[in-house]
Amino acid sequence: MSTIYLNGKLMPIEEACIPVLDRGFIFGDGVYELIPVYSRKLFRLHHHLHRLQHSFDGIRLMNPYSNAQWQDLLEQVIANNKTEDQSLYLHVTRGVAKRDHAFPQNTPPTVFVMSNPLLAPPQELLLSGVAAICAIDNRWIRCDIKAISLLPNVLLRQLAVDANAIETILIRDGFLTEGAASNIFVIKDKVLLAPPKNHLMLAGITYDVVLELAAENNIAYEVREISEDELRHADEILLTSSTKEIMAVTRLDDEQVGDGKPGAIFKQLHQLYQHYKATIMRGNTA
């Protein structure tokens, strides 16, 4: 049984209850984060808390805790759950109030944190790569906010599930934005291409790690808009997220990507990422 945090208290998940008038339930009015934990150590905590603050600012909700308070409560949740590697899900809503679109006054936010076991991506998928499909990005234009209202992402991801693929890659006005729940990179002629961080995509923490690793290891990269045509003619496509880490997309809409196998840059970045994670597990929580 997992232990969760809800509004100041730790409790078994089965005992956690939210009033039906919670604005998260009524309006999807809230923000969230997902932080990976390796060997009970928070991975890039300060980057996640910085992005959380950006989300709070984006929806005009006050951050209820200081970074030190967040760290303390997240560490309590980690300590009260069994596995060494965990994914921590933090969720804050604008609280419980009579249903009205306007912000309620003097209403405390609802704060919820849960932990799930974090499983590394299966080895066979790392070796074979994964299938993805493309779809039109029909979400709102504040995709930089990690909002809990994820209905468009849910519908887009289901298109991939229905097509036996792992992810839906999104195209807006002819350009790549990101995946339904991941960031996407393209490799062409040995250059790693990354779409620019802006209001049309979530600034992934893993995305940042990938670009840092590229810069430190002399992998040529460019941050710029990537056309649908470049995506469809890529030598390699990479998908990144905190839970999926780095995966190679080897089929796109039933066409082979490159030679249909995970490529050299994927292999190099995957190895560098594992090495980077290992240094974090040795004690650095920055």
CB of 265 to ligand PMP, least distance (A): 18
d(CA 63, CA 57): 8
Examine residue 202 and tell whether it contacts ligand PMP (CB under 6 A).
yes
Q: Is 180 exposed, middle or buried (0-12, 13-18, 19+ CB in 10 A)?
A: buried
The correct pick among 205, 219, 238, 257 for binding ligand PMP (CB under 6 A) is 205
- Residue 220: CA atoms inside 13 Å, Cβ hemisphere, count? 5
Closer CB to ligand PMP, 93 or 177, in the complex:
177
Shorter beta-carbon distance to ligand PMP: residue 49 or 97: 49
Total residues interacting with ligand PMP, rule: CB under 6 A: 14
**CA gap 95, 105 in Å, rounded:** 10
Chain positions 99 to 118 lying near ligand PMP, rule: CB under 6 A, are none
Query: Of residues 93, 115, 168, 242, which one binds ligand PMP by CB under 6 A?
Result: 242
What type of residue is 165? A
Sequence letter at residue 123: Q
23/146 with CB nearer ligand PMP: 146
Instruction: Decide if 82 is catalytic.
Output: no
Question: CA 105 to CA 102: how far, in whole Å?
Answer: 9
Q: Given 9, 82, 98, 146, which residue is catalytic?
A: 146
Residue choice 3, 55, 81, 206 for contact with ligand PMP (CB under 6 A)? 206
Select from 22-30, 112-120, 155-163, 202-210 the region that touches ligand PMP (CB under 6 A). Answer: 202-210
Strands 183-188, 236-241: pairing is antiparallel
Q: What's the CA gap between 149 and 64, in Å, rounded?
A: 20
Distances (CA, A) of 265 to 180, 186, 226, 247: 23, 10, 18, 11
Using rule CB under 6 A, residue 240 touches ligand PMP: yes
One residue of 183, 187, 195, 249 binding ligand PMP per CB under 6 A: 183
203 and 168 Cβ atoms separated by less than 8 Å: no
Cβ proximity to ligand PMP, 97 vs 113, nearer residue: 113
For ligand PMP, which stretch binds (CB under 6 A), given 58-66, 187-195, 197-205, 217-225?
A: 197-205
In the complex, the smallest distance separating the C-beta of residue 181 from ligand PMP, rounded to whole angstroms, is: 4
Going by C-alpha positions, the residue among 112, 103, 167, 99 that lies closest to residue 135 is 167
From the centroid of its chain, how far is CA 200?
14
30 binds ligand PMP (CB under 6 A): no
Q: Which is nearer to ligand PMP, 5 or 207 (CB)?
A: 207
Q: Which ranges of 5-98 does DSSP label H, i.e. alpha helix?
A: 23-27, 45-59, 67-79
Q: How many whole angstroms separate alpha carbon 183 and alpha carbon 190?
A: 19
Does residue number 177 form part of the binding site for ligand PMP (CB under 6 A)? no
Binding status of residue 178 toward ligand PMP by CB under 6 A: yes
168 is a site residue for ligand PMP (CB under 6 A): no
Q: Please count the residues of the chain.
A: 286
Contacts to ligand PMP by CB under 6 A = 34, 153, 178, 181-183, 202, 204-207, 240-242
Catalytic sites, residue numbers: 146
